[in-house]
Amino acid sequence: MTLHLPTLLLGLTLASGVLASAVLAVAWGGRLHKGLSLWGLGLVVNGLSYPAFGLRDAGWLSLSILSTNALTALSLVIHTLALRAFQRGRCHTLPNWVVWLPAGLNMVAATLLLHDDRWRNVVVAGLQGVMAMVLLSQAWAPGLHGRRLTGRWVVIAGAALLCITLVLRTLFMLGASEWDAQFNVPTQVQVATYFAILAVLLLNSMGFVLMQMEHAVSQQHELASHDRLTGLYNRLALMELMDHHLALARRRRTPLALLMLDIDHFKVVNDQHGHLVGDEVLRQVAQRAQARLRGADLLARFGGEEFLALLPATTVEGAQAVAEGIRRAVGDLPMVVNGVSIPVTISIGVHAAIPTEGPTAAEAMISLSDQALYDAKHQGRNRVVVR
């Protein structure tokens, strides 16, 4: 069965329009702002490339060639920019010139080789293959740490399929038997290319939307388990993690240490400088304390100006040494907020032991570290007390 090319172009235009509408509806309805609106715009631009290709049936061959190449290249650029917007802040993103240069060369080649069908198709397919590789590079995101979730792998697969399609098209053009300036790409090759690109658009769009959803879930989890002001674990998350560490310490018969930290006279900071400055002091204290801990240690904002640190496999002596390091890190240099130096000290209560059995073991250890903190406050503050 022979497929009529105008019918195919109409179908592809409608399919691309429906896909673009769906993506933009998700972007606007869900208020996601990580490049999803850009991605929908790229689908709209790609959809316009199909009627632009059909202009050649109306006798506007040159306009059709130039507009089709411009719209195709622009859609690849926009999708790369959408991915870059999503990845910004997570990894190294591509500079603008890397994204736009192949598109510019694509238009130069289409213009200069306007009347040389074979070389134009070879060069343009090759340059669009390079653009697909740029898209793949941004989907892969070199420098991105942590696991790559499902959506990203779907986009990687789609971008790889696009690269393969354009490379095969380039090789076909190079290997065609009759080498002259006037060469029409066989309809079968055009149809196969269009269907492959539509499959890529469907795959990449599903993957990109899934990336957005996974990111939203990750953000919700982050908000549920971390303190928004300091970025540390919150009290609930630490208590859940503590159960695991208690069980591990019992099984291995190793001590678990708790440090209860409290900023001295923090109310005075708020009263003299305001709560916004107080918030910045809290952040800086958290950063200095975190910097003195090991990678395996956990630090949480326990409430107000109190922090609780959990140190696995740490003796009383080791915990006391860490606590002294934190106390000096906070107290030796004043906090600087808006150019104002604010001296801050902390008191720390330390408790370390092999956890006992029972459902109240965590509460008992926290209570002992809290009592040690109370002793530190009672003895004059800016000190470490062990209990």
Residues 49-86 have pLDDT tens digits of 888 877 877 788 888 889 988 988 898 999 989 888 88
For residues 290 and 299, the answer to whether their CB atoms sit within 8 Å is yes
Active-site residue, 317 included? no
Which of 205, 176, 213 shows the shortest CA–CA distance to 82?
205
| Model pLDDT, residue 126 | 86
Question: Per DSSP, which regions of 216-266 are E strands?
Answer: 256-263
CATH of 235-386, one of 1.10.357.140, 3.50.50.60, 3.30.70.270, 3.30.465.10: 3.30.70.270
Contacts of 22 (CB under 8 A, 6+ apart): 205
| Model pLDDT, residue 326 | 95
d(CA 147, CA 195): 32
Cβ burial of 376 (10 Å; 0-12, 13-18, 19+) is buried
Q: Looking at 253-386, list the stretches that DSSP marks H as alpha helix, in order from N- to C-terminal side.
A: 266-273, 275-291, 316-331, 361-378
d(CA 305, CA 262): 6
Tell me which residues of the chain have a pLDDT lower than 50.
1-2
**To 10 degrees, the CA torsion angle through 223, 226, 230, 234?**
130
**Alpha-carbon separation of residue 249 from 131, 294, 323, 369 (angstroms):** 53, 17, 20, 17
d(CA 91, CA 134): 15
CB burial string 24-55: b at 16+ within 10 A, e below: bebbeeeebebbbbbbbbbbbbbbbbbbbbbb
Beta strand 298-303 with 306-312: parallel, antiparallel or unpaired?
antiparallel
Residue type at position 104: G
d(CA 127, CA 77): 12
What helix, strand, coil percent values describe the chain, rounded to 5?
A: 65, 10, 20
pLDDT tens digits, one per residue of 328-360: 999 999 999 988 899 999 999 999 999 888 778
| Model pLDDT, residue 289 | 94
List 178, 222, 280, 305, catalytic entry:
305
**Alpha-carbon separation of residue 332 from 238, 285, 290 (angstroms):** 28, 12, 16
| Model pLDDT, residue 105 | 93
| Model pLDDT, residue 2 | 47
Using left for φ > 0, alpha for ψ between -120 and 50, and beta otherwise, residue 139 falls in alpha
DSSP code per residue over 347-367? EEEEEEEPPPSSTTHHHHHHH
